[in-house]
Structure formats: C-alpha cells, structure tokens
Amino acid sequence: MGLLTALPMETRFRVVEVQIEPDRLGLEGQARSHGEAEGIAASLRTLPDWQVNPPSTHSLRERGVAFSVTATRTSSSAPTP
C-alpha cells in the first residue's frame, strides 16, 4: 500500500506539500475541520511499517483548518511512497 492509496477517498482536502524520505513522510494541507485532519492521519495509520503522529492543526482565517502530519518508518523495509 502506498501513500496515495492510504489517503481517504471520502474526505475533501487539499494537499499543499508532500515530503517523502526513506524513513520519514510529511504531509501538509487544508481540510474543512480538525476532525477531518485527524481522519486523514488515521487513514495514514493503515500504512504498514509507519508510525503516524497526530496532526498539528490550526484554524484558517476564512474557514477550514491547515494541517501537518508526519510519520516515521518503524522497520527497515523498502519505502512505500
């Protein structure tokens, strides 16, 4: 399973930046609510061999939230971006 297939299909969100390194993933974006940002992180937790941190979020001026999610590899298996 790769990063894109782990993202929730039923949630509308915008990806602003993706960082993929052999032992680290970073995803920054915008969602409609803090709960949806948590749902995105929860979906990423289905990736095998990755420890996904809770999202960091803050409210945007207009509406919605900005979020940042990071994950670190928990095993030495090959990258799965």
Tokens 């409210």 belong to which residue? 59
Res. 81: pLDDT tops 80: no
Nearest CA-CA partner of 6 in 65, 57, 62, 47: 47
Distance between CA 35 and CA 55 in Å, rounded?
A: 10
Residue 9 lies in a domain: yes
What was the pLDDT predicted at 18?
95
Domain with residue 11: its CATH number is 3.30.1360
Instruction: Mention every residue, 6+ apart, whose C-beta is less than 8 A from residue 53.
Output: 41, 69, 70, 71
**pLDDT by residue (tens digit) across 6-63?**
999 999 999 999 999 999 999 999 999 999 999 999 999 999 999 999 999 999 999 9
Element (H, E) at 26: strand 24-31
Domain span at 36: 3-73
